[in-house]
Structure 1
Amino acid sequence: MRKLSPQDIPRLTPSDARSADPHPISVIVHNVRSIYNVGSMFRTADAARVEHLYLTGYTGTPDHKNLHKTALGAQDVVSWSAHDDVTPVINDLRAEGYSIGVLEITDEPLHPAEAPATSFPLAIIVGNEVTGVEDDIVSLADLAFELPQYGMKHSLNVSVAAGMALSHLVRRFRHLHDLQDTPGNRALETELPDV
């Protein structure tokens, strides 16, 4: 085993990344206060090749220079838009045929690796670092995704949770559609884990 150098790792160029077919998953980042968490979600969105990031409420945007410290250039290739109100975004996506999911602890939890085929295209909402996704927004969702936790805390950092959920959701979509991995689209495992 040897660590690959950056030159040895197959990856898309920025131009290719902008034009590559995304996975049919969008992320609504609602009222996330830390610009570093938002930057991290840009980087994760690029890695997962999601369709779009909707930055809603008071979530910061790439106009904030500190976002670049964690996005590391992903802000230049990930499609994004900013919206004051999340509800019209949810309504528009639903009208376009998207299922709406929340990443939140609810009484109807579903592991992201078990997302039904009918849930794609999917828009997943992640919320505030302290309060999560507000109840009125949860009530608009079709699905609630939850990540198992085995320690004292009942939640993860929002950007970490979003990354874990997106990893499972992308792998689930690729598994359901029998998509093969190619350069720039590299997977470490070929089988989905048992959940």
Structure 2
Amino acid sequence: MRKLKNNELGRISVDVFKNTQKTPIIVILDNIRSLQNIGSVFRTSDAFLIEKIYLCGITATPPNKDIHKTALGATESVDWEYVEDTFLLVKKLKDLKIKVISIEQVEQSTMLNTFIPKPNEKYAIIFGNEVKGVQQKVVSASDKCIEIPQLGTKHSLNISVSCGIVLWDLFSKMTK
């Protein structure tokens, strides 16, 4: 086997990305503190053709050198918008018939490996603060909460890792 060179990877331009049909997923970042985590979410969202990212509350916005460090230009390809209040955004998206899912450990959560997205359904996926998680009022307003199964001693994952796991899982299920 030979490693591929950058020019062999079939990368598309930002213009082509903008005009490509997107995966019907919106990402919502609820009060994310780490600029590197924000950048990583942009990069992962670019990889899976995510429709849009909403940056809420204390979540920083581009342009920012620390976001750029991990986003590697994905802030230019993935559509994004800043919204101060996550709860009000959730209400608006639900009014648009978008299914809102918080990624959180809650009573009666659905395990990610058992969740099957419905065809022709659009989902807004909420990732929460590195310490406090998704705000309780946002969890309560969600249509569903999905939990990433964890079998070790920690039962917590970095938000950028959680995002990668969840978006890959949903993308792979939605593009079968």
Q: Tell me what 1:67 maps to.
A: 67
Structure 1 partner of 2:174: 173
Question: Paired residue for 1:32?
Answer: 32
**CA distance 1:94–1:118, change in 2 (3 Å):** farther
How do 1:84-99 residues align onto structure 2 when only pairs under 5 Å count? Answer: 84-99=84-99
- Number of aligned residues: 175
Cα drift, residue 10 of structure 1: 1.8
1:138-149 mapped onto 2 (5 Å cutoff): 138-149=139-150
Contact 2:109 2:145 in 1 (8 A): yes
Counterpart contact for 1:127–1:158, Cα < 8 Å: yes
1:155 aligns with 2:156: yes
Q: Which residue of 2 aligns with 1:58?
A: 58
Q: Give the CA RMSD over aligned residues.
A: 1.4
Contact 1:31 1:59 in 2 (8 A): yes
Q: Percent identity?
A: 38
C-alpha separation in 2, matches of 1:45 and 1:34: 17
SS class of match (2:25):
strand
Distance 1:60 1:119 in 2: 32
Deviation at 1:119, TM superposition (A): 8.4
Q: Shift in Å at residue 169 of structure 1?
A: 0.7
Give ranges in structure 2 of 5+ residues lacking alignment. Answer: none
Equivalent pair of 1:37/1:159 in contact (CA under 8 Å): yes
Structure 1 unpaired stretches of 5+: 176-195
- Cα 1:77–1:116 change in 2 (3 A) is closer
Residue 82, structure 1, aligned to residue 50, structure 2: no
Q: Structure 1 residues 95, 80: closer, same or farther in 2, change over 3 A?
A: same
Shift of 1:109: 2.3
| Equivalent-residue separation in structure 2 for 1:140 and 1:166 (angstroms) | 21
